[in-house]
A and B are shown apart, each in its own frame.
Chain A
Amino acid sequence: MSTESFFARALRRTAAAGFAGLARTITGVRPVWAGTAPSAKQRIYFANHSSHGDFILLSSCLPPAERLRTRALAAADYWSKSAVRRFIATDLLRSVLVERDREKRMGDPMQAMLDVLDRGCSLIIFPEGTRNTETEKGLLPFRSGLYNLAVARPEIELVPCFIENMSRVLPKGEFLPVPLLCRVVFGAPIRPEPDEERRAFLERARLSLAALDPKEPRS
């Protein structure tokens, strides 16, 4: 699957197991398979984004084999800023880094995503494009990548995943987590209709994700 050294692979697997264990200890996370079941099929998981913990929480809900081949899309402009961040993002979590700012792009981000998919990996993407700090106001508008991927690889399922409460466990700007219970709700896969426009599809995808929000008990 890649040219990783034995050492790098062992480090990454240990880190993945450690992070998943930590996520479970702190959040007692529970997957809720509402619209689909765990599957060995290659998938693109798209989720709401409000915390650095989102990727770890979501991947800890996947079956072990699926977790090992699932990679997250992360912002290069954020995760390449320092050596520590780059180490966490690329060596420990093996994220796929893409530049959000068009001006600074070196390669084609779409191509980077397709390369990962064509190697058989599943992908986690956060189509809001940034961490949402006002989750009570709903999801941010989706960026186009989700649509482009769906059109380029129509055989891969797009699964909406609603991550509950992570914005309270580890909000933007904090680095110590507060233990609160979290759930990840997996919804029914969606795909673009033959003549569906980009904007219409993105809005439909956004609504399908928002609809998974477990009824907010908090006022």
Chain B
Amino acid sequence: MMPETTYLFGGLLGTLTVASLVSTLLSARAGTPDATLVNLDERIKAWWVMIAVLAAAILAGPYTVIGLFALVSFAALREFMTLTVSRRADHWPLFALFFVALPIQYWLVWTNWYGLFAIFVPVWCFLFLPALTVLRGDTENFLYRVAEQQWGVMATVYCISHIAALVWLPIAGFEGRQVLLVAFLLVVVQGSDVLQYVSGKLFGRHKLAPSVSPSKTWEGLIGGLVLASLLGATLWWLTPFTPLQAGGVALVSCLMGTLGGLVASAIKRDRRVKDWGHLIEGHGGMMDRVDSLVFAAPIFFHLVRYGWT
């Protein structure tokens, strides 16, 4: 076990313990159960589970991390495709998304075949999905249906697989420690979501995008980004970065994460649903938890790949 993992998970354990204590105190002080506090309590309990699963995967090694994110992609893809307008003629392409495209993409990560990993979805899937769809001869809403399949596989399989692909990045002097980059990205981007939520609740006044996501505010965004960048800088020891670089990479990743959250909100609003699903108590679906990572992961991956390999 690397000393870094001990410090990291020790720190997360402490943070969660404090969060659970605060939540219990707030509930006790409020007396009558309040919807926001009940939700807060559920969210923190779910965080315990998510962090335990992540810690177990990271301690078990790179292959377990790849397997874990294949499951995350599966759950997210299922939520995404549930909200599409797919017709009966889309049965084969949909089946292929889950049982051909997703396994191949993660097999490419598993075997570290970077050249095909980088183009498999945007070239092979994007050409073969409409080809498979047209075979059934149903042209109603064709462009719309194909676009939804392509966006679904792009967001939930291709983008999320970049988190797993971090484990093989050939960074000089960092061999065997790349799983720590996975931990860094997840802690910083998920931390930014939490810090934006907290800053927004405490200081939020001016709405950021009222027609898309009414609860987001400029104060929440800026406060969250500043704090998350500082968090990233203080976690530099998990990465091949200097503290300043770590803060910069964290800032870019969290900005992308915020955009991902806004895009996901727009899709949900369009389809008139509040959450993507019900997989994670208090949070909603898997996509509700990973929407920011969908945008942050590929950019983080390529920043590191360009700058440090």
Contact = CB atoms under 8 A, between A and B. Distances in A.
A176 B85 CA distance: 19
Interface in B41-91: 74, 78-79, 81-86, 88, 91
A28 B279 contact: yes
A177 to B, nearest CB: 8
A218 B85 contact: yes
A181 B81 CA distance: 9
Nearest to A173: B88
A95 to B, nearest CB: 25
Contact of B81 (A171, A180, A217, A219): A180
A100 B85 CA distance: 34
A87 B84 CA distance: 36
Interface in B92-145: 94-95, 98
Interface of B: 74, 78-79, 81-86, 88, 91, 94-95, 98, 271-273, 277-279
A168 interface: yes
Counting chain A residues whose Cβ lies within 8 A of the other chain, the interface size class is 10 to 19
Contacts of B271: 217-218
Nearest to A180: B82
Contacts of B88: 133, 168, 171
A219 B83 CA distance: 10
Contact of A217 (B86, B273, B278): B273
- Please report whether the interface of chain A is mostly helix, strand, loop or mixed according to DSSP: loop
A34 interface: no
B85 A30 contact: no
A41 interface: no
A106 B241 CA distance: 80
A181 B79 contact: yes
A174 interface: yes
Nearest to A165: B82
Contacts, number: 40
A176 B279 contact: no
A176 B88 CA distance: 13
A217 B83 contact: yes
Interface string A153-178: 00000000000010010010010101
A57 to B, nearest CB: 14
Contacts of A176: 91, 95
A178 B85 contact: no
A179 B81 CA distance: 9
Contacts of A28: 78, 277-279
Contacts of A215: 272
A180 B273 contact: no
B272 A181 contact: no
A133 to B, nearest CB: 8
Interface of A: 28, 30, 133, 165, 168, 171, 174, 176, 178-181, 215, 217-219
Contact of B78 (A133, A179, A218): A179
A178 B272 contact: no
B78 A181 contact: yes
Contact of A171 (B74, B78, B91, B279): B91
A218 B83 contact: yes
A117 B98 CA distance: 41
A133 B78 CA distance: 22
Contacts of A219: 85
Contacts of B82: 165, 180-181
Nearest to B75: A28
Contacts of A217: 83, 271-273
Given A168-B86, A180-B78, 8 more contacts: A176-B91, A178-B81, A179-B98, A180-B81, A180-B94, A181-B82, A217-B271, A218-B83
B254 to A, nearest CB: 29
A176 B96 CA distance: 11
Given A171-B91, A176-B95, A215-B272, A181 B277 contact: yes
20 contacts: A28-B78, A28-B277, A28-B278, A171-B88, A171-B91, A178-B81, A178-B91, A178-B94, A178-B95, A179-B74, A180-B78, A180-B82, A180-B94, A181-B79, A181-B277, A215-B272, A217-B83, A217-B271, A217-B272, A218-B271
Nearest to B97: A178
A161 B21 CA distance: 42
A28 B276 CA distance: 13
